[in-house]
A = this chain, B = another copy of it.
């Protein structure tokens, strides 16, 4: 009898919390409001080297969390959301880099957001939570990075709303950044992207159970939130991806001639909507989509990416051919602005059929580009 194949040891990570801006101190927000206290949930992988020069900050997308890779418990069956990219021996190699991932301000996975308790009132923030911007999210992250004793990040990596944070970090704290990898993102949220977000918000706010955001003692706007998520998922895929993945295949053997959902693409959306309701806060969706909509580095005729302070930052900009939420031309806009600084800017459009979702999926080309770029950064800055 052969013994069972030994399971590889699970990479265990621990969710940590950092609280700052404790009253009477607060953090000033872009809206003019003051917010405090602020707690950020975060996870780290790998080891910060003695020179504190090997830190890679990973910025998550709209519905992500700090749990980027590995497992939270020995019993966990699902690893973090970017486990294909991050871990020992992977593209972002935690044997080499000290990886930090922080749940964004306004979210609902441990960091302060509308579903948190406002200690001043003892009640949920709900819609009394102030509007936050991508700039505010980054400002809060900077407090944590300072707290970790890191003065220069080797790299920043993030896709989608995470990519917006990457760019905002470079604009606001260029001297703290050696390199940056914005993926599948934009420097300016388009009218179409705003439109999709607004329809998702309207779906939530149309649900009577939303109750002007005050639903934390009940089930909440589960129907509206599911519809909002379904809208999102249509934008994360693409015409081609949906054709490949589902085509017109039926969920059951034949047409139902009723409204239960005949096609596999419908079951997929129902499933995604249902799953999301169990893990995400509807008000957080409202706040974070709004932050994305407000994101615009080209406002008032200028372009904040054109800045001599950014000349020393190296960039790897990546788009995906079938991403129609943040299409390649938007990445090219980022590239042409950055090139005006004389920066070291690499750009690649990866030919992938999975739409916007492609940045999250295992992809040898993507892994190779990122690991190669990080190795070059390490080499150029003589980092052990």
A262 within 8 A of B: yes
A215 within 8 A of B: no
This chain: copies in complex: 2
Contacts A194-B265, A227-B206, A262-B293 known; A248 to B199 CB distance under 8 Å? no
Which of A2-10, A95-103, A161-169, A235-243 is near enough to bind chain B?
Answer: A235-243
Residue of B nearest to A239 (CB): B192
| Cβ–Cβ < 8 Å partners of A237 in chain B | 192, 195
Contacts A199-B234, A234-B195, A248-B189 known; A226 to B206 CB distance under 8 Å? yes
A4 vs chain B, min Cβ distance (A): 41
Give A237 to B270 CA distance when docked, in angstroms.
25
On whether the beta carbons of A257 and B131 are closer than 8 Å, the reply is: yes
A353 within 8 A of B: no
On whether the beta carbons of A242 and B201 are closer than 8 Å, the reply is: no
A372 within 8 A of B: no
A246 within 8 A of B: yes
On whether the beta carbons of A201 and B248 are closer than 8 Å, the reply is: no
| Cβ–Cβ < 8 Å partners of A273 in chain B | 202
Interchain residue pairs with CB less than 8 A apart (8): A31-B257, A130-B257, A190-B243, A190-B248, A191-B265, A198-B269, A199-B227, A202-B269
11 additional A-B residue pairs with CB within 8 Å, beyond A199-B227, A202-B230, A203-B227: A31-B257, A189-B248, A190-B243, A195-B234, A196-B234, A198-B265, A199-B230, A201-B259, A202-B226, A207-B207, A263-B293
